[in-house]
């Protein structure tokens, strides 16, 4: 097929595009303070180490600059976007009952509640999570506070399995370590 035919075929299909539908159990973490997509892009751009004050319109970066950006060493502290992504991965791993990714988000020095040792806490969490037929975990009203490589997040969590439905306020403490955000402590009110 000729390139012009492919382009015409694509032009015919442009009006039929629909946004993707999230599969059941997906958690989308958002905040009312995030603003529009253009505001989020501007916010992310202002978080980069190379801040420039200019009134000129933005121009696309050359390909070499984009490649150099991808090859930069890991950040000394994690971004809010990376933290939000880690929170979403934690919630999805819990909902999906995927123990390795779920437990992998907890730091090696995580402080389990009720004086449990980490070993006993892992056994208890594994038994509780894997014994359920299904789990639904949702995050609402997320707030994030980052100070260098430490972060505190607060949110309303909605948990549901075949026997229980609970709505709680959760506070989690995270640390940016070894190029990723990790949970060091959590409490549920």
Long-range contacts of 128-132 (CB under 8 A, 24+ apart): 129/94, 129/97, 129/99, 129/102, 130/97, 130/99, 132/97, 132/161, 132/162
β-sheet with 136-147: strand ranges across:
136-147, 150-160, 165-177, 180-188
Note down pLDDT in tens along the chain; length 189 residues: 444 443 444 444 444 444 444 444 444 444 444 444 444 444 444 444 443 333 334 444 444 443 333 444 455 568 999 999 999 999 999 999 999 999 999 999 999 988 899 999 999 999 999 999 999 999 999 999 999 999 999 999 999 999 999 999 999 999 999 999 999 999 998
CATH of span 80-188: 3.10.450.50
Domain extent listing, the chain: 80-188
Q: What is the pLDDT of residue 29?
A: 46
Long-range contacts of 37-44 (CB under 8 A, 24+ apart): 44/79, 44/81
Whether residue 172 contacts residue 153, with contact meaning beta carbons closer than 8 Å, is answered with: yes
Q: pTM of the entire structure?
A: 0.60
Distance CA(56)–CA(177), nearest Å, equals 37
């Amino acid at each position: 097929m000729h390139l012009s035919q492919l382009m015409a075929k694509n032009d015919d299909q442009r009006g039929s595009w629909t946004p993707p539908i999230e599969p059941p159990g997906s958690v989308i973490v958002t905040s009312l303070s995030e603003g529009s997509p253009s505001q989020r892009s501007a916010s992310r751009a202002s978080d980069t180490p190379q801040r420039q004050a200019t009134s000129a319109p933005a121009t696309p970066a050359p390909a070499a600059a984009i490649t150099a950006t991808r090859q930069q060493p890991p950040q000394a502290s994690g971004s809010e976007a990376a933290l939000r992504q880690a929170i979403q991965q934690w919630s999805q791993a819990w909902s999906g009952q995927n123990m390795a990714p779920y437990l992998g988000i907890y730091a090696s020095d995580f402080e389990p509640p009720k004086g449990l040792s980490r070993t006993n806490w892992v056994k208890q969490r594994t038994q509780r999570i894997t014994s359920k037929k299904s789990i639904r975990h949702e995050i609402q009203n997320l707030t994030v506070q980052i100070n260098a490589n430490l972060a505190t997040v607060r949110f309303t969590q909605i948990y549901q399995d075949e026997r229980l439905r609970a709505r709680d306020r959760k506070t989690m403490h995270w640390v940016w370590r070894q190029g990723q955000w990790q949970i060091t402590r959590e409490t549920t009110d």
